[in-house]
Structure 1
Amino acid sequence: MTGPVGRRKPTLIMHFTHIENLPAILDAGRLFADALVGQRLATNVGAVDIKASRRVRAVPCPPGGFVAQYVPFYFAPRSPMMYRIAREHQQGKVGRYPGGDDPLVYLVSSVERVHKADLAWVASDGNCAATLTRFSPLLDDLADLVDWPLLRERVWRDTTEDPDRVRRRAAEFLVHREFPLDLLVGYAVRTPERRDQLRRVLADAGIIDQYVRVRPDWYYGFQRGEVQE
């Protein structure tokens, strides 16, 4: 393990999805990239505009293709995307997924597990939709590509001194096409009630020994406010 400034090893990566999507994911035994997932999702929490941009954002290094052809993972919880989901729930924003972040489940793995499994992957130094974001498929590049100190900060908004913090906080680890669930190290949820619900879902799929941890600090948990047009 490195010190507090650089990349920690193992390097955790996390993908979140609505708990209603878990039965289909468990049945398939894998996560699929957005371009391949089709009608498998029971509840889609992604914004239409963001998904559209990822379908045309090219990945400029091997294995290439477009961002939507990769299964996305973040290097840290409480991402800008989860913040957007939580805030849109709080505001009652029309035309967006309304359920907030409480029903979302983190599926947790590590860079080292993916690399050892010889899966094709690419890392980004920030939001994949931004034109200045850089990509790399090389493990050794992760030390300098990703802003590890920023990923460990709880407050990551842009400042006058550093107006690029939000973009960098959205750095991703992208696994090409599919991610097999046997590479997971466990799951995280917001509340004990969600833990119990997830354990029932896992048991229904014949899985009784998966590690599930309650991590409220990985969520925003904003409460619903007034509906806004």
Structure 2
Amino acid sequence: MTVKISHITHIDNLASILEHSCLWSDSKRIKLGLANQNIGYSHIKKRRLLRLVNVAAGGTIGQYVPFNFCPRSVMLFVIHKGHPDFQDGQDRVLHLISDTDTIRLSNQQCFFTDIHADLDYAEQIDDFDRIGELDIQRIINEKYWQDFKEEKQAEFLAFESVQWVTIQQIGVKTQALADEVSALIQTAQHKPEVVVRPQWYY
């Protein structure tokens, strides 16, 4: 069973992603000394650099590139509202879309969780025959998620890096941002489809 997945990042990070032809994990990006426009909570990112993984390649969650099983994630809502580490809102945030099978073809060290990966009681699963246990249609893709916030934040995680060629679409909020993204990827060998999807935003 292949499942669509979504990674969010700021457009300011796209040039670096294209230069390296991949998305790096936070841990690897820090080791490489790469600049990054952080849109997440800094304290959670630091915690994920220490939280252990007991499946796939082991290590820590911060050594993996995270994806949600839906666009319009809970974290995007936090970004939309603004938080102490990022106040500029969601308008310049990109959804990088792929699917579980495509990424696993180039990176076999992947796993998924049943809830937000940073939680102590999240189950780490590298048996992808179990991915059907996630209620993607009725819970993870649900527009109103207050009653199952943790379940909506289930994650797919790929060790160290995700190849740019595995990204199939780039979702943006406005046509103006789509035009910016199209200009940035114009000279790239791999050009994902750029789609305007305001429904993926708050």
TM-score category (smaller protein): over 0.9
- Output the CA distance in 2 between the equivalents of 1:114 and 1:209: 16
Contact 1:57 1:128 in 2 (8 A): no
Measured at CA, do residues 206 and 60 of structure 1 come closer, stay the same or move farther in structure 2, by a change above 3 Å?
closer
Rg (Cα) greater in structure: 1
Measured at CA, do residues 32 and 118 of structure 1 come closer, stay the same or move farther in structure 2, by a change above 3 Å?
closer
Report the CA distance between 1:130 and its aligned residue.
1.1
Gaps of 5+ in 2: none
**Selected match of 1:52 from 46, 57, 60:** 46
Decide which moves more: 113-122 or 101-110.
113-122
Q: Is 2:128 the partner of 1:139?
A: yes
Measured at CA, do residues 43 and 58 of structure 1 come closer, stay the same or move farther in structure 2, by a change above 3 Å?
same
Contact 1:121 1:174 in 2 (8 A): yes
Mapping of 1:73-152 within 5 angstroms? 73-88=67-82, 93=83, 95-144=84-133, 146-148=134-136, 149-152=138-141
- Output the CA distance in 2 between the equivalents of 1:177 and 1:152: 27
Decide which moves more: 108-117 or 24-33.
108-117
Measured at CA, do residues 208 and 128 of structure 1 come closer, stay the same or move farther in structure 2, by a change above 3 Å?
closer
Measured at CA, do residues 33 and 118 of structure 1 come closer, stay the same or move farther in structure 2, by a change above 3 Å?
closer
The equivalent of 1:195 in structure 2 is: 178
**Aligned residue pair count:** 199
Q: Is 2:43 the partner of 1:30?
A: no
Contact 2:48 2:60 in 1 (8 A): yes
- Give the aligned residue type for 1:51: K
Report the CA distance between 1:125 and its aligned residue.
0.5
- SS of the residue corresponding to residue 123 of structure 1 reads strand
Mapping of 1:158-197 within 5 angstroms? 158=147, 165-197=148-180
The equivalent of 2:55 in structure 1 is: 61
Gaps of 5+ in 1: 1-8, 159-164, 221-229
Decide which moves more: 33-42 or 63-72.
33-42
- Output the CA distance in 1 between the equivalents of 2:190 and 2:162: 21
RMSD: 1.5
- SS of the residue corresponding to residue 112 of structure 2 reads strand
Decide which moves more: 33-42 or 51-60.
33-42
Report the CA distance between 1:209 and its aligned residue.
4.4
Contact 2:106 2:163 in 1 (8 A): no
Q: Is 2:188 the partner of 1:206?
A: yes
Report the CA distance between 1:115 and its aligned residue.
2.5
Report the CA distance between 1:208 and its aligned residue.
7.7
Measured at CA, do residues 131 and 156 of structure 1 come closer, stay the same or move farther in structure 2, by a change above 3 Å?
same
Per the normalisation by structure 2, the TM-score is 0.93
- SS of the residue corresponding to residue 56 of structure 1 reads coil
